Amino acid sequence: MPNLKAKLESEQRTEDILHSLKKLDYLSRSQLQQLHDLGQKRNANRVLQQCSEFLSSFRDIENIYYLNKEGRDRVGSSKIRKKTPQAKHFIMRNYIYIAFECPTDWKNEVKLGIKEKKIINKCDATFTRDNKRYIVEVDNMQKMSENKKKIEKYKVIAESGVYGSPAFIWITTTTYRQKQLSDLCADLDCQVFLLSDFY
């Protein structure tokens, strides 16, 4: 029954792609290629075309995909996503998710802090590896003064030991901003990546 086997595999692949979009909101074609082993660009486009009844997309250098109503219904997602310039923020964050091999405990938009000191930061994502907490921040269109305030709070949070000895991962858009963030994070266990490191 080779046709049935191929059909079941295709259905499972569609399901997996939709669940990735439920978890990560927006994914570029190349990110979907990596996550789901879709091979070359031509094959990836063919597979995504087969999923088209569940997906919407727009162009930003390459195609960016998100769930449409049918896709949300199929995987039980209540989050409505649309074409928006803010999608780049999600795409940048997802490069970190993929680079760190899709951590199983990855969570987006998490509040971290010390309640009694009224110090709270909402990080873009967090995960653990080898019992170490990683805190992910995306610097896309944020003012550097806002980043500075956030980093000062992170220093207090890190010193408190509430989250052990956390490591920080930033992703930004220019070498100038990379240097600024590296300097601001000098007292923290921190890596600052450029978006261009990932494509």
Which CATH number do you get for residue 59? 1.10.10.10
Q: Within this chain, do residues 134 and 169 fall inside the same structural domain, yes or no? A: yes
Q: Within this chain, do residues 194 and 132 fall inside the same structural domain, yes or no? A: yes
Query: Which of the listed residues 65, 81, 97 is the one where a domain comes to its end?
Result: 81
**Residue 12 counted as domain residue:** yes
**Residue 177 counted as domain residue:** yes
Q: Within this chain, do residues 24 and 72 fall inside the same structural domain, yes or no? A: yes
Neighbours of 13 (CB within 10 A): 16
Range of the domain at 77: 2-81
Q: Return the pLDDT at 33.
A: 96
Q: Return the pLDDT at 8.
A: 84
Q: Within this chain, do residues 120 and 193 fall inside the same structural domain, yes or no? A: yes
Q: Within this chain, do residues 179 and 114 fall inside the same structural domain, yes or no? A: yes
Q: Return the pLDDT at 2.
A: 56
Q: Return the pLDDT at 5.
A: 76
Sheet holding 167-172, edge to edge: 107-114, 119-129, 132-138, 167-172, 189-194
**Residue 92 counted as domain residue:** no
Q: Within this chain, do residues 112 and 148 fall inside the same structural domain, yes or no? A: yes
16 pLDDT above the threshold of 70: yes
**Burial class (CB within 10 angstroms; exposed 0-12, middle 13-18, buried 19+) of 197:** exposed
Angle between helices 87-99 and 2-24 (to 10 degrees): 120
- Rounded to the nearest 5°, which phi and psi values hold at 18? -65, -40
Q: Return the pLDDT at 79.
A: 93
**Residue 136 counted as domain residue:** yes
**Residue 182 counted as domain residue:** yes
Q: Return the pLDDT at 162.
A: 93
**Residue 121 counted as domain residue:** yes
Q: Within this chain, do residues 62 and 117 fall inside the same structural domain, yes or no? A: no
Number of compact structural domains in the chain? 2
**Residue 87 counted as domain residue:** no
Q: Within this chain, do residues 43 and 7 fall inside the same structural domain, yes or no? A: yes
pTM for this prediction? 0.91
Q: Within this chain, do residues 114 and 181 fall inside the same structural domain, yes or no? A: yes
**Residue 97 counted as domain residue:** no
Average pLDDT over residues 174-178: 97
Q: What is the pLDDT of residues 51-94, one digit of tens each?
A: 999 999 999 989 999 999 999 999 999 999 999 999 999 999 99
Which CATH number do you get for residue 127? 3.40.1350.10
Q: Within this chain, do residues 191 and 155 fall inside the same structural domain, yes or no? A: yes
